[in-house]
Amino acid sequence: MRLDNGRKSSNVEDRRGGPSLGGRGSLGIGAIVLALVAMYFGVDPSVVLDLASGPPASTQQSAGAPPADDPQAQFVSRVLADTEDTWSEIFRASGSRYAEPRLVLYTGATNTACGTGQAAMGPFYCPGDARVYLDMGFFQEMQHKLNAPGDFARAYVIAHEIGHHVQNLQGTAERVANLQRRSGQAEANRLSVRMELQADCYAGVWAYHANRSRQILEPGDVEEALNAATAIGDDRLQKQAQGYVVPDAFTHGTSAQRVRWFKRGLETGDPGQCDTFSAASL
């Protein structure tokens, strides 16, 4: 992936090395992975964390935080900048203005407008403060636990979360949240799947435009993203975690669905092709 000469975003907020939030003891990597998998198929990750954590820990200073200019942070900053350029162009073409989100780097846990964010939840977007939250340990989990390595796989994850920001700006997030509050759990989950698949499609739209204007893609990059989309499909994660799948508990879509919608965005570059809510078949 060619980003070495790209600009870096001014919208990265680095909280690594700041005070860590208390309330839980230390967690082993196994507990974190289990909680991450639980989150992906609709189980509250706090259930796993509560079982795995020890007595409450006091607030303490994180030690040995990576410098702000470490290679991973620079990569994230350049990907974020590229999404800013892409979506600004797309919004401008439609006669509107793209409000850039902030991206927060943190370690372990951090305060958000959506409650306490924890590494075990994986990367997430909070519409309440228009921020993407990322503990970069997730990239290690992708590589070693989910078998989804590669720089473009990491970029896909960031672009997916930015897709949720686009949904927030469009009002889609609020409309879906209102519908979910009036729905049963199974229907709420189905709406969540359509939200997540649209964000996958938007990630593909970003990749299309970024490559067309800035030639960011190298051989193998698309395969990395498709592998990542496959690795975090609900059916695959459920199968790995419990040996069987429960479709009504899907919240992000199957591996095949995630690949299909990412490819649609990548091949068309048209956000209008990402209307998962009107699609008869996902």
pLDDT per residue as tens digits for the range 258-276: 999 999 999 999 999 999 9
Helices (H) and strands (E) in the chain, counts: 10, 8
85 part of a folded domain: yes
Q: Which residues of 236-271 are buried (b: 16+ CB within 10 A; e: fewer)?
A: bbbeebeeebeeeebbbbbbebbbbbbbbbbeebeb
110 part of a folded domain: yes
Cα-based torsion angle of the residue sequence 38, 161, 135, 88 in order, rounded to the nearest 10 degrees: 180
Q: Picking from 36-45, 64-73, 148-157, 207-216, which range would have the lowest pLDDT averaged per residue?
A: 36-45
Q: What is the mean pLDDT of residues 7-29?
A: 71
Range of the domain at 174: 12-274
132 part of a folded domain: yes
68, two tokens: 């702000």
For 7, 41, 59, 211, the CA distances from 253, given in Å and listed in that order, are 33, 9, 37, 26
pLDDT tier at 64, thresholds 50, 70, 90: low
Residue 68 is predicted with a pLDDT of 62
For the chain, the domain total comes to 1
260 part of a folded domain: yes
The residue with greater pLDDT, 11 or 54, is 11
Share of the chain above pLDDT 70, in %: 83
CA–CA separation, 266 vs 203, rounded Å?
A: 8
Q: What is the mean pLDDT of residues 123-148?
A: 95
Residue 94 is predicted with a pLDDT of 94
1 part of a folded domain: no
59 part of a folded domain: yes
Measured in degrees and rounded to the nearest 5, phi and psi for residue 102 equal: -100, 150
Residue 59, pLDDT above cutoff 50: no
Residue 206, pLDDT above cutoff 80: yes
Q: Using DSSP, state whether 103 is helix, strand or coil.
A: strand
The model carries a pTM of 0.85
Whether 79 and 38 have beta carbons less than 8 Å apart is answered as no
39 part of a folded domain: yes
200 part of a folded domain: yes
